[in-house]
A and B are shown apart, each in its own frame.
Chain A
Amino acid sequence: MSILSVDIILKKSGFSLDITCDIENQITGIFGPSGAGKTTFLRLINGLEVPDYGRISIQNRKVFDTEKKINISPEKRNIGYVFQDGKLFPHMNVAQNLRYGVKGTLRKQEFDEIIDLLQISEHLDKKISQISGGQAQRVAIGRALLASPDILMLDEPFSSLDKNLRHHVISLLKPLVKKFNIPLLVVSHDLSDLLMLSDRLLIIKDGKCAGVGSYLDLISLGEAFAAMNRSGLINTVELRLDRLDPEKGLMLLSKGEQRIFAETPTAKMGNHNNEMLNFFLRPKDITLALHKIKDISIQNQIEGVIQKIIISENKILCVIDHGFKLIAEVTLATQQNMNLREGTRIWSLFKAAALKPAHTGNINS
């Protein structure tokens, strides 16, 4: 089912936006450089701004159509929207903010579930000026969710938070979306943040849609690739924690059949076995080999098949399928020396230290 169907044109002085796209996935990341029109795109969908021409449907419900003269006001579109800086009401406390958009009577159980998942239950009586940025962002998300929207849109929700806090909020979002079965659109100019949530992306560049689809499909599209490459391509891997081995300083992880090692981080992480953890791995940190190599300090050697080769200027990007996909970056010379082609069986080598945990420990702020 189509979650969001958009075909709109907006012309302002010095800026124009012309986007046609269909979004079908539960979680979609909207990525693009600053000033590309991401925020405007969201505000056109939720009715805070009005397109000059076009159509917008949410879950097959038409909310805007210039031809049929439909323009449903923002309060009736039923779209949850979290502003970049939360926009909590300063004259109300946390609980009053949370309840502001509740329709009909508040269902106690739902309220409790949301504030538990967002870890804000102990701040309910606080004033907005008394809570931290991370807490405010979570309250804003809770407030939007409690209005029971058909779709939730977050505009740069992480930009005001530091890296650790950001990953903490991201890790809370996934279970929330799953639990309440609500489609989520997240805008960010940080690719790695988005990839932790979903590999489904909509790329906006200069007010135009440069591609919709999965991350690894999009990197073979010129425009989308150029936009993503500027901020740096990254692999995100979700791994299951099998065991901690503090004596060796390692974490034993797995993904399907593959066994993977990562360094035990200094901060507390991975409290219980079978926990799913997110890691980043830079394409540059992957070494390729045609055979498994003995006597080497690199802990991780996993076998796969090159699925796609993308040539970008003087470097080569290989999409390698190991049961899960990773992007590896090599030079043109390496590709020629090793005769790398699509379909080549290959070993991907990376150090345990190259796997960077996305979120370390419990964060209480």
Chain B
Amino acid sequence: MEAFNFTYEEFQAIALSLKVAAICSLISLPIAIGVGWLLARKKFPGKWFVDGFVQLPLVLPPVTTGYLLLITFGNRGFVGKFLSDHFQIQISFTFWAAILASTVVSFPLVVRAIKVAVEMVDRELELAARTLGAGPWKVFFTITIPLAMPGILSGLILCFARCLGEFGATITFAGNIVGQTQTLPLAIYAAMEVPGGEMIAFRLAAFSVALSFMAMVGSEFINRKLIMKT
């Protein structure tokens, strides 16, 4: 079992990956519920643009996404320059860059799942709640959200899993800094580059497979429980 003795650096990469995925999911969720609901239920001018813009990272090569983030939030990018000039905040090549890269890349997956889930909620049930005296917010929280819950949760797990696998945008925008931005996939990549690192790469890859598998099984389990409840 010596093969599975993780070093401190490897642990760091694993912990960082989980942390990034968790924070990214937490940030994505409320925004994705809002955007998903808007896209599913509302008509507004420029809806096609919002829809397309949100979905874009899904089809864009992650490296491109990372590059776009870099020229926007990098130290010479228009947002990055503003932040560093006025607030002394640097985003690129920090932990927060890893978060931002993962969030942008995984966001479309959550929005998509939530949008479909909200579209599946019977509009007439929401209207029935309105006739019973419930205002739009009460309807949203007591009817729409609970009924869309399976979709919301599977979107969330999909988002978590996508963050764990995120590579291209992260390495471009956040770099490969051990303990700061070196997540699991980056650590595997780094290990493969070093002569004699095959064992490390194998260990991390095996762990990565186990983690992703658990996420998928968990998602399926939650889905079944929720379906049985209704």
Interface, chain A (partner B; CB < 8 A): 46-48, 73-81, 83, 87, 89-91, 100-101, 103, 127, 129, 143-144, 147
Contact = CB atoms under 8 A, between A and B. Distances in A.
13 contacts: A47-B130, A48-B130, A74-B130, A74-B131, A80-B131, A83-B124, A87-B127, A90-B230, A100-B142, A103-B133, A129-B230, A143-B132, A147-B132
Contacts of B142: 100
A91 B147 CA distance: 7
A83 B127 CA distance: 10
B230 A147 contact: no
Contact of B134 (A77, A87, A90, A101): A101
B147 A75 contact: no
Contacts of B56: none
A42 to B, nearest CB: 10
Contacts of A48: 127, 130-131
A127 B230 CA distance: 8
B124 A87 contact: yes
A152 to B, nearest CB: 11
B230 A75 contact: no
Interface residues of B, number: 18
B125 interface: yes
Contacts of A147: 132-133
A90 B128 contact: no
B227 to A, nearest CB: 11
Tell me whether chain A's interface is mostly helix, strand or loop, or mixed. Answer: loop
A208 to B, nearest CB: 25
Interface in B155-194: none
Nearest to B127: A48
Contacts of B218: none
Nearest to B129: A100
A238 B227 CA distance: 48
Contacts of A79: 131
B61 interface: no
A-B residue pairs, 8 tightest by C-beta: A101-B132, A87-B128, A81-B131, A74-B130, A91-B146, A147-B132, A75-B130, A90-B230
Given A90-B147, A91-B147, A129-B230, A83 B134 contact: no
A89 B126 CA distance: 9
Contacts of B229: 91
Nearest to B122: A87
B63 interface: no
Interface string B106-128: 00000000000000001011011
Tell me which of B130, B131, B146, B230 has the highest count of chain A C-beta atoms within 10 A of its own C-beta: B131
A190 B147 CA distance: 34
Given A91-B230, A129-B230, A75 B135 contact: yes
B54 interface: no
A101 B139 CA distance: 11
B58 interface: no
A127 B227 CA distance: 13
A357 B210 CA distance: 69
A334 B129 CA distance: 57
